[in-house]
Structure 1
Amino acid sequence: MSEDAVVQLLQLFDQHGIEVFVDGGWSVDALLGKQTRLHEDLDIALQHKDVPKLRALLEARGYKDVPRDDTRDCNFVMGDDQGYEVDFHSYTFDAQGKVVFGVEYPLDSLTGSGSIQGYPVKCISPEWLVKFHSGYELDENDYHDVAVLCERFGIALPAEYERFTRNDAQ
């Protein structure tokens, strides 16, 4: 997904008063202020109450549900005919800031800020992005994202990424 397409979507969401936090690879690049690799989709975190409105905005632009085995009310993907995909991660917090529905985002994970093509965006904080990149089968993109975040923000590289550094040394 191109930077232009991402910024256009984020501007659309902003224009309609929908607060989203960029997650995933675009969040890494937003924190760094530049695109560092290609991205297949745009991951977003948003309040579950905003899902119907955002879904309607995207449907009006030709987006449809993309069938996946892990689709749930709080985690699904919509795509268009150009191959652009938006991966939704929704949540609902109670008055104390505890997730009572949806994806388990700690409240303090939604505190990052960055930019894509100079457009200011809210995103996942660097520390939480590193934490979220663990506990599953890691690939080269995960290593890239975590390595650049750790270097830029002075975060220790998690132990599970050591196999990638060993491979780099060989």
Structure 2
Amino acid sequence: MKIDNVTEKDLFYILDLFEKMEVTHWLDGGWGVDVLTGKQQREHRDIDIDFDAQHTQKVIKKLEDIGYKIEVDWMPSRMELKHKEYGYLDIHPINLNDDGSITQANPEGGNYIFQNEWFSETNYKGRKIPCISKEAQLLFHSGYELTEKDHFDIKNLKSIT
């Protein structure tokens, strides 16, 4: 039973799933760093996906229908799910507001406010992948005690020209 390492094949499966559901989404976290650098740099415990919050119920239902189980529920901020084959998936609903702003619920109340240019795309293995920008990744890797993986990701982000 594989749940500790989410592979590139698992990543493409999840990206395909969100595309088939026609849900606007962006890759975040460690896999987001790796697609920005152009290659897998390390193993990943999970996949982080930011997505259009108006589709939250549809996304959760689809994930449960294919076998994901909820492990952590901090909605409306985030939810972590686990699948016996595809591993962990961390979903983050974001609000694409009418005024063009982008926000995410803060688990402690209020909202995080994001800049539109942080939501970008990159080419990885011949595929366009919507992802969080280098600048946003570096910003999101601050304000907390960094792990060894975080330091590794920051080093890789800083190597991108």
Normalised-by-shorter TM-score class: 0.7 to 0.9
Contiguous gaps of at least 5 residues in structure 2? 1-5, 107-111
Identity %: 29
The aligned counterpart of 1:9 is 14
Q: State the Cα distance separating 1:101 from its structure 2 match.
A: 4.9
1:131 and 2:139 equivalent? yes
Q: Which runs of 4+ in 1 moved over 3 A?
A: none
2:42 counterpart of 1:37: yes
TM-score (norm 2): 0.85
Q: 1:148 is aligned with what amino acid? A: N
Residues 135-144 or 96-105, more deviating? 96-105
Of 46, 51, 61, the residue aligned with 1:46 is 51
Question: How much does 1:100 deviate?
Answer: 5.2
Aligned to 2:82: 79
Structure with the larger helix share: 1
> Alignment RMSD, CA only?
1.7
Q: Distance in 1 between matches of 2:35 and 2:84?
A: 26
TM-score norm. by structure 1 comes to 0.80
Q: Does 1:144 align with 2:152?
A: yes
Structure 1's 138 and 100: CA in aligned 2 closer, same or farther, altered over 3 A? closer
Q: 1:145 to 1:20 in 2, by over 3 A?
A: same
- Greater share of residues in strand: 2
**Matched pairs, number:** 150
- List runs of 5+ in structure 1 lacking aligned partners: 154-170
Q: 3-state DSSP class of the match of 2:16? A: helix
- Please state if 1:96 is matched with 2:104: no
